[in-house]
């Protein structure tokens, strides 16, 4: 089974922290819709497996009319073998959500909504330069829960002014709406963002790692009490509501991405489309997809597995390492993990190498210590 990712590269306005690929000029939105649909036809032989998940992300997919999104979904059904109970997620921004659209999204087959709330605190939303305010953050959940039961909400923590109390309240608010899935990200300062410039000019305080660690602890404690499973470092779900699409990335399943900057993976190579709308149009018009490609070496494949598996609740399967790499690689990995086990950052349970609860906030650094050189 495999997944499809569609990148919609348009947003109403640029959030100050974001360096994903998007444009705030919307004049060529119809052209982009046609190009993405054409790219799906051009790439139809990339995957041999049936499609079990479709994810419309961005950018801001909810910026398109539901009837436009329907054109993409219909074309995917015509072009690929899509399983009957396919998970179809749409990323929607709070300011785009209305009862009429919710009904239309349901009608066209969207069965999972990913809402980018980020924060319910007005001051937070202001410095982020979000297109929505705190009233819209609440209101969209009030109406979305009438139409969808499979909803995920994105929140960002460790932001310049957010206090521990405000952060706890942000999490509690989502829990009170019985939202079954929550993704929470520590704010990162990406190069070439307004946030980066504001921090450099001392107009915003820099990231405080200590505060981010406190927020992470508040997060894990609050959601554990509310019976969410912490199934990946940034992801929490109630029973039966893990993201099938994201889980397949972490399980090394194959996926195909359409649209500028979208990534694809077929087990042997990883490729990513050009992050430039004009060049993307030009290549698609010539029946070509412009991408860069990287053939993964065995070492890279093992390091990717270590990186992604360590972030999950299950951890690194030593059996998987033995079967897919070698007994020798498994032994070497165990020897690299010895010191981390003594420091109580890692543990071994049922032949899985896992992070201990106190090590979860340090996952990326620990993964780097486990990498093959």
Ligand X SMILES: C[S@@+](CC[C@H](N)C(=O)[O-])C[C@H]1O[C@@H](n2cnc3c(N)ncnc32)[C@H](O)[C@@H]1O
List contacts with ligand X (CB under 6 A): 17-18, 20, 58-60, 91, 93, 116, 118, 154, 156, 185, 187-188, 190
| Contact with ligand SF4 (CB under 6 A) among 7, 8, 22, 256 | 22
With CB under 6 A as the contact rule, the residue among 37, 47, 53, 58 that binds ligand SF4 is: 58
Least CB distance from residue 363 to ligand X, whole Å?
15
DSSP string, 192-227: TSHHHHHHHTTSSPPP-HHHHHHHHHHHHHHHHHTT
**How far does the chain reach from its first CA to its final CA, in angstroms?**
32
Is there binding between residue 167 and ligand SF4 (CB under 6 A)? Answer: no
Q: Does 18 bind ligand SF4 (CB under 6 A)?
A: yes
Least distance to ligand SF4 from the beta carbon of 11, Å? 3
**Residue 154, contacted partner among ligand X, ligand SF4, none, CB below 5-8 A by kind:** ligand X
Q: How far is the CB of 159 from ligand X (least distance, A)?
A: 9
- What is the footprint of ligand SF4 within residues 94-153 (CB under 6 A)? 116
List, in order, residues 6 or more apart from 158 with CB less than 8 Å away.
Answer: 186, 187, 207, 208, 209, 211, 212, 215, 216
Among 23, 53, 89, 93, binds ligand SF4 (CB under 6 A): 93
Residue 14 touching ligand SF4 (CB under 6 A): yes
Query: 36: part of which helix (H) or strand (E)?
Result: helix 29-42
Distance CA 348, CA 337 (A): 10
Determine whether 203 is exposed, middle or buried from the number of CB atoms within 10 Å of its CB (0-12, 13-18, 19+): exposed
23 in contact with ligand SF4 (CB under 6 A): no
Least separation in angstroms between CB 105 and ligand SF4: 18
- Out of 4, 8, 15, 125, the residue judged to bind ligand SF4 by CB under 6 A: 15
For residue 91, the surrounding DSSP H or E stretch is strand 82-92
SS3 271: strand
59 in contact with ligand SF4 (CB under 6 A): yes
**156 versus 321: smaller Cβ distance to ligand X:** 156
CB burial class (10 A; 0-12, 13-18, 19+) of residue 309?
buried
Candidate residues 60, 235, 264, 277; the one interacting with ligand SF4 per rule CB under 6 A: 60
Name which of 20 and 281 has its Cβ closer to ligand SF4: 20
With CB atoms as reference, the residue minimizing the distance to ligand X is: 116
CB of residue 183 to ligand SF4, shortest distance in Å: 13
DSSP code string of 112-181: EEEEEEE-S-HHHHHHHT-SS-HHHHHHHHHHHHHH-SSEEEEEEES-TT--HHHHHHHHHHHHHTT-SE
Outline where 181-326 has alpha helix (H).
194-200, 209-225, 244-250, 277-285, 298-310, 318-324
Q: How far is the CB of 141 from ligand X (least distance, A)?
A: 13
Nearer to ligand X, 53 or 337 (CB): 53
The Cα 233–Cα 249 span in angstroms is: 14
190 contacts which partner out of ligand SF4, ligand X, none, CB within 5 to 8 A by kind? ligand X
The entry of ligand SF4, ligand X, none near residue 14 (CB within 5 to 8 angstroms by kind) is: ligand SF4
Contact range with ligand SF4 by CB under 6 A, out of 56-64, 160-168, 260-268, 270-278:
56-64
Q: How far is the CB of 198 from ligand SF4 (least distance, A)?
A: 15
Between CA 8 and CA 64 the distance in angstroms is: 9
**Region of 59 on the Ramachandran plot (φ > 0 left; ψ -120 to 50 alpha; else beta):** left
Pair type for strands 254-258 and 51-58 = unpaired
Which is nearer to ligand X, 110 or 333 (by Cβ)?
Answer: 110
Residues that bind ligand SF4 (CB under 6 A): 11, 14-15, 18, 20, 22, 58-60, 93, 116
């Amino acid at each position: 089974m495999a997944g499809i990712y569609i990148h919609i590269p348009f947003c109403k306005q640029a959030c100050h922290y974001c360096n994903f690929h998007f444009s705030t000029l919307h004049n060529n939105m119809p052209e982009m819709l046609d190009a993405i649909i054409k790219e799906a036809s051009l790439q139809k032989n990339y995957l041999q497996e049936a499609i079990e998940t479709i994810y419309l992300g961005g950018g801001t997919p909810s910026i398109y009319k539901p009837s436009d999104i329907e054109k993409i979904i219909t074309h995917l059904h015509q072009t690929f073998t899509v399983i009957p109970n396919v998970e179809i997620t749409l990323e929607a921004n709070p300011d785009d959500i209305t009862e009429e659209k919710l009904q239309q999204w349901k009608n066209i087959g969207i069965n999972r909504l990913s809402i980018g709330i980020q924060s319910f605190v007005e001051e937070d939303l202001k410095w982020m330069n979000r297109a929505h305010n705190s009233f819209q953050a609440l209101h969209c959940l009030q109406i979305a829960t009438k139409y969808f039961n499979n909803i995920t909400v994105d929140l960002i923590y460790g932001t310049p002014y957010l206090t521990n109390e405000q952060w706890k309240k942000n999490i509690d608010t989502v829990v009170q709406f019985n939202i079954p899935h929550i993704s929470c990200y520590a704010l990162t300062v990406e190069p070439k963002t307004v946030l980066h410039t504001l921090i450099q000019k001392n107009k915003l305080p820099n990231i405080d790692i200590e505060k981010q660690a406190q927020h992470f602890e508040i997060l894990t404690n609050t959601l554990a009490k509310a019976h969410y499973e912490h199934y990946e470092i940034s992801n929490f779900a109630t029973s039966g509501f893990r993201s099938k699409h994201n889980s397949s990335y972490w399980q090394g399943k194959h996926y195909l991405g359409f649209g500028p900057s979208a990534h694809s993976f077929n087990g042997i190579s990883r490729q990513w489309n050009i992050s430039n709308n004009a060049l993307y149009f030009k290549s698609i018009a010539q029946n070509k997809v412009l991408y860069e490609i990287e053939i993964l070496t065995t070492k890279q494949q093992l390091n990717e597995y270590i990186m992604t598996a360590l972030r999950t609740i299950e951890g690194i399967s030593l059996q998987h390492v033995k079967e897919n790499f070698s007994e020798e690689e498994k032994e070497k990995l165990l020897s690299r993990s010895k010191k981390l086990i003594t420091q109580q950052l890692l543990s071994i349970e049922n032949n899985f190498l896992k992070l201990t609860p106190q090590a979860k906030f340090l996952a990326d650094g620990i993964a780097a210590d486990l990498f093959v050189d």
